[in-house]
Amino acid sequence: MNKEQKAFHKSRRDQFAKIIGKDSVAIIFGNTHRNKSYDGDYKFKQYKNFYYLTGFEEPNSALMIVPGGVKVIENKKENTVKEILFVQEKDPLMETWNGRRLGFENVKTELGIESAKVNKELGKFLNGKGLQRFSKLYINFGEVLKLTDEMKTIVTPFLNSLNVIAPHMELIDISYELGKMRLIKTEFEIRKIQEAADISVDAYYDAMKAIRPDFNEFNIQSILEFYYRFHGGDDIAYHPIVAAGENACIMHYDKNDQHMNKNELLLIDSASEYNYYCSDITRTFPISGKFTKEQRIIYDIVLKANKECIKKIKPGVKFTAIRDLSERILADGLFKAGLLKNKKDIKKYSLHGVGHHIGLDTHDAVPYSKTLDTDFDTLKAGNVLTIEPGLYFTQDMKEIPQKFRGIGVRIEDDILVTKNGCVNMTGDLIKEAFEIEEEMLFNREVD
Ligand code: GLY
Ligand code: MN
Ligand code: MN
């Protein structure tokens, strides 16, 4: 790991230690293997909070943060340390089958974490008297309950006897405090998100060129994902939506296996992850290469909401005010087009909010409803948000003229809040209807 990355994760651990205070201990478990079927596992993916604090990508590991210090024996000497990483023991046979292990001996040099031990030492600490002197334990409860392998063996007796081992101790899930920290991105993180966004944007140009009637949704999905991986994206940021026609009106459409018809739109909500950081993009394309009159009316209303909301983003502005602005523009647009009698009914057709924070997670990292004790609504420099208005008309909406039914449009960009305004991190991806038509028709002529 390079110096800059080590310093980033160290700064996160130090900040978290300050937040939790000297009478607390934090134990944050990394992920373990997850079974897919019989003896096949899913590809290993580190827990994001654990990654945020360590950058360590091996399974079966845990980080302990002790702001008040804890005594450890290292090289036969007693030291007081504030952080210990517990890792898998080195094992030549297992490493031949499953990949190299860092080993506790190399943690300090490779990861810059103060101290390291093998996992069985964590078991002794947790199941002995180690916790008794602390008044609070911060732990990733939701994730701990899903652990497998050797970490499950360690945490099961611990969880079962917690009220005997340390009955006085307050137990706090780490996700809220860490989630709040994660809302303000550092320069290091912004560069990772930008890289993810750039890979995704480039892929959309390839996908756009390939859209044509009689292809299948999965043809387009495969082009995007080929491109992400080819250019170093290490994962998809989320399961993609590649939705032709009315499929776009299913918010979590995930089949991506339907035939694409000439007069339909294709809504693509897909993006790459890069070094654990996500981007999140949606564009909507006419499958024929040209919008119908009705598609264009809806498209332009959504585009207006997208652009006007982005223009308003700067520190101090409320995210809810941006949401309200988006709703107003969508409602006004539909009202003027004669598609909405009462503007209050806009939610029936716009369905979702205007956006969310992104970062290590696509929906990053604290549920909005849980952010009650601080003013999260007010945007701050270092926030990265999506702006993604949409309108959706199913065939069931008999109050809407037939030619508008089956239309679903969403346009989504990733926006960095800066000191004085904002930067559209996905701004290199065209979104004006005429630009899209030009790009798609030009490519069709070359065919
Ligand atoms: N792709 C998930 C979202 O737009 O929220
Ligand atoms: Mn989104
Ligand atoms: Mn999205």
238 lines ligand 1 (CB under 6 A): yes
End-to-end alpha carbon distance in the chain: 46
Indicate whether 54 pLDDT > 90: yes
Ligand 1 center from residue 240 Cα (angstroms)? 9
200 lines ligand 1 (CB under 6 A): no
Q: 179 and 366 in contact (C-beta within 8 Å)?
A: yes
**Which pLDDT value is given to residue 437?**
96
Per-residue confidence at 163, pLDDT binned at 50, 70, 90?
Answer: confident
Select from 121, 128, 143 the least CA-distant residue to 52.
143
Indicate whether 372 pLDDT > 80: no
Instruction: State pLDDT tens for residues 270-313.
Output: 999 999 999 999 999 999 999 999 999 999 999 999 999 999 99
414 lines ligand 1 (CB under 6 A): no
Q: 357 and 372 in contact (C-beta within 8 Å)?
A: no
Instruction: State pLDDT tens for residues 185-240.
Output: 999 999 999 999 999 999 999 999 999 998 999 999 999 999 999 999 999 999 99
pTM for the predicted model, two decimal places: 0.95
Q: Whose CA is nearest to atom 4 of ligand 1?
A: 280
**Which pLDDT value is given to residue 135?**
93
Ligand 1: which of 388, 410, 411 to mutate, judged by most atoms within 8 Å of the beta carbon?
388
Q: Which residues have a Cβ under 8 Å from the Cβ of 28 and sit 6 or more positions away?
A: 49, 50, 53, 62, 63, 65, 138, 139, 140, 174
Select from 236, 222, 310 the least CA-distant residue to 278.
236
Instruction: State pLDDT tens for residues 56-94.
Output: 999 999 999 999 999 998 888 999 999 999 999 999 999
Half-sphere CA count of 337, side-chain side, radius 13 A? 22
Indicate whether 366 pLDDT > 90: no
Indicate whether 130 pLDDT > 90: no
- Which string of DSSP letters, residue by residue, matches 339-385? --SSGGGGHHHH-S-S--B-SSSSS-SS-GGG-TTTTTTB--TT-EE
Select from 423, 164, 397, 412 the least CA-distant residue to 311.
423
